[in-house]
Chain A
Amino acid sequence: MASRLRRWLMIGALAGAAGCGTLRTSEVFGAATDRLEAVRVAALEDREAYRVTLAQGFLDLAREARGRGDYDEALRFARRSLEVSEAVLHSPRRILEAAPIEAVPGGR
C-alpha cells in the first residue's frame, strides 16, 4: 500500500514538474515572439540585420527544441532570442532615431 502511494506521489510530482516547465517555456516563447514582432513593426530588420537574424534564428531553434521535447534547451534558446530582441528595441541608436531633436521655435 505504502509503496503504491509512493509511486503515485512520484508520478504526480513528475507530471507537475513537466507541466511547470512547459508553462514556463510558453511564457518565454510568447515574450520572445512578441519582442521579435515589435522589432519587425519598427522596421528594424535592415538596420539591425545581425541581431534580428540572430533573434529569429534562436527562436526557430527554440521551437525545434520544444518540438523535440527538449524544454530546457528550448527555454534557453527562447531566452537568448528574447534578450537579443530586447537589446535591439532598447539600443541607443534606436532611441535616438525614435526621438529626433527638433528645432526650438523662436530660436531658444
Chain B
Amino acid sequence: MRHLSAAILCLPLVTACLGPQEAARRTTDLGKLLEDRREAMENCAPRSLAEAEVAIEATRYHSRQGRPMEASKALDRAEAAVRSAWQQSQDNRCWKDQDGDGIPDRVDQCPALAEDLDGFQDEDGCPDPDNDGDGVPDLRDDCPLEAGTAAFRGCPPKDSDGDGLNDDVDACPNEPGSLVNRGCPYQDRDGDGVEDASDQCPDVAGDPGNHGCPYQRIQVTETQIELKEKVFFKTGKAEILPVSFPLLEEIAQALRDHPAIRVRIEGHTDSVGSDRANLRLSQARAESVRRFLISRGVEATRLVAVGRGEEVPLDDNSTEAGRAINRRVEFHILPGSP
C-alpha cells in the first residue's frame, strides 16, 4: 500500500522522483565523472567536489530509506555541484604538473622533465633537445627541423657554387673550382688550357702535352703539327741530316705527349726531276721520318707515310726560294684523333 502511494505520488513527477535502481545508476555515473577529474577538481573546485560527494551520499541514503523525493532533490544538488566542479576545473593548471610545463602529469610522458615547447612534438610533455637528431642541440641549431652538421650550425651541408665541395671545406665557396685545389678555380694566366698550378710555363701559352710550355720547333694545332723549321735530307736522298734531329726529337716528344693523335707524314718535293722520281723520293723521305719517330718510341700504327711528289707545291717552282719552300715534310693529324 505504501509503495503504491509512493508510485502514485511519483507519477506526475517522473523526473522529480527516483527509484532505487535509477538512483544507483545515476550516482554511479556521477561518481565516475568525479573520479576521472578528481585531481583537477580537488585543486580548483574543492568545495564543489566535496558538496557533490556529500550529495551523492545523501541520494543513496534517501534511496535506501525509500524516500524517492528526497533522493531526487539530493541528486539534483549532486548534479549541480558536479557541473560546477567540472566548469571550475577546465583549466590545465588544475592538474598536477611537477615540471610546470603546462602538460598535466596524467598525460605527461616525462612528468619530471619540462617540455621545451618549441613546436616539435610538444604534446608528449618530453623535451626534445635535438629535434632533427643530427647531434647539434636545438639551441645551437639554425635548422632544428632539418638534419645537418655542426659545421653548418645544424643545417644540411651546402655547396653554394655546386663544384662538389661543401662550403665548409671549399676555400672558394662561391666560385666553382677544382677538388684538388680545395674548391678554388685554377688560374690559367696564359690561357693555354693548362692551369697555372701544373703549368711549367704559366705565362707563356704552351702545349698541354708539354706541361703548358710551348714546343721550341713545332706547334700542335687541331689539324697539323706545324714546323717552325724544315726537315733537311741529303740532296736527292732520303737520309735525314743530323741538324734536323732536334726537330724530329721534338715531334716524337709531341706525339708521346699526345698519345691519341695519329699522323699522316707527307713528303713533298719541288718540280726538279721527273714526277715519278720525285714521288718516289718524297715517299722515301716520309718513310725515313716515320722510322725515325718509331725509333723514338712512337707506335708504328699511329704513323702513315705518304709521298706526294711535286703535286702539291706551296710556292713558285721557278725560283730557288719557291722550290725550297716546296721541298718539305708535313704532319697532318688524321681525323678521329682527339
Given A50-B42, A50-B47, A53-B46: A73 in contact with B54 (beta carbons within 8 A): no
Q: How far is the CB of A36 from chain B (nearest CB, A)?
A: 13
A77 to B58, CA, bound (A): 10
A71 at the interface (CB under 8 A from B): no
Interface range, A side:
10 to 19
Number of chain B residues close to chain A: CB under 8 A: 14
Contacts of A61 in B (CB 8 A): 54, 57-58, 61
A65 at the interface (CB under 8 A from B): yes
1/0 per position for B238-280, CB-CB distance to A under 8 A?
0000000000000000000000000000000000000000000
- The chain B residue with its CB closest to the CB of A74 is B61
B51, A73: Cβ atoms closer than 8 Å: no
User: Could you tell me which residues of chain B, from 14 to 60, have a CB within 8 Å of some CB in chain A?
Assistant: 42, 46-47, 49-51, 53-55, 57-58
A70, B65: Cβ atoms closer than 8 Å: yes
A-side interface mostly: helix
User: Could you tell me which residues of chain A, from 12 to 69, have a CB within 8 Å of some CB in chain B?
Assistant: 49-54, 57-58, 60-61, 64-65, 68
Give 17 A-B contacts (CB < 8 Å), ordered by A residue.
A49-B47, A49-B50, A50-B50, A51-B50, A53-B50, A53-B54, A54-B50, A54-B53, A57-B51, A57-B53, A57-B54, A60-B54, A61-B54, A61-B57, A70-B61, A73-B61, A73-B65
Contact surface of B with A, Cβ cutoff 8 Å: 42, 46-47, 49-51, 53-55, 57-58, 61, 64-65
Contact surface of A with B, Cβ cutoff 8 Å: 49-54, 57-58, 60-61, 64-65, 68, 70, 73, 77
Q: A64-B58, A70-B65, A77-B61 are in contact. List 10 more A-B contacts (CB 8 A).
A: A49-B50, A50-B46, A53-B47, A54-B50, A54-B53, A54-B54, A57-B54, A58-B57, A61-B58, A73-B64
